[in-house]
Structure 1
């Protein structure tokens, strides 16, 4: 077994800070792909796959053609994720690995606190997909770290030197409609007050193409998010979920209307809350190379459709 009493290196500090973001880059892209594939697969197994889904100059594009194209583009990636998740569940049973909701909550809180508001990979994502991915990753990490000894003074030293990482500010899942002038912004507020959908108006009226395509979603934002205009971050604490702001004037000359979707209360994690998290991360740093779920396929007799392709 390996042991360490050394102080945490700068490289290790960077790894602990950036790990949540690196994890989520994969989670959210794949989560959207999983959702799309699931939507394409009919619940009724007798469904007509020769259904016409589009046509060009009278030439039909059939549902089976569409689904075949989706499978060729994303099928391998989606199936890999499904197999890996199942392999980790089997590993958890064999090695008696437990993952609590509190552990997933901690990882998710770290994800929210490290998100850059300009990072579109966090937008329009399914939290349940994120939680499942985090669970699978935690099982892998616990299996890999279970025989590595880290002295408590190393974990305590890291916590004492990096308490700011575990003081998580309140964050807001935020939707924004960006407008060119105050008149258009006032029109949007009036339409919202008359019952129009914020998501629909964002897609139709917002001049920010990236967030408009996602119904205005700009992801998790806190009052300290430097990449988001301070007029927006300052307005968030006064908004209740589902409600929108008056017209906001932005520094770049544009105007905005903001809606809060969900509020995630800030948290301060004590050493006892994060001791296992830090211990596990420092243990993984002792491994000579990174290990993925695929390394356990042989152990648990995992096979898949693409093995002969």
Structure 2
């Protein structure tokens, strides 16, 4: 709940800053343009909700009135003008886009192809069961790796290995 409140407060602050920026940049749309865009957004929202009654019920659930919605949308029209003004001279090449995407691709995928995988390599099933039991009782994974692992690469550090998934990986240890 605290995070939601912080996010909402940040959104409200950003909105106020952008509305002020509209005045500074003198990019205030005309009242006619605002009214046209608000009416369009309202009609689309009503259509998506499945009619006027359902839309009003949705607004009630969010403790909003139709006027609140229209004021919000009017602010969005102004903010969109600010964004358009700010980025009007920005150009990005295909190479720059591709480079950025490749460096940040995991931010844009639902199921990233990169995982952090950790393991404790032991010699016997009994030892594995003992490690799992201690893990389930709350022992730290890193401590157990140092104590039980026979893998020289991760034993001393309780290391978590980062790998790129090329094929399906099956793990015995459930994620908590």
Fold shared by both chains (TM-score > 0.5)? no
TM, length-normalised to structure 2: 0.36
Larger radius of gyration: 2
TM-score, with structure 1 as normaliser: 0.22
Q: Which has the higher contact order (CA 8 A, sep 6+)?
A: 1
Higher strand share: 1
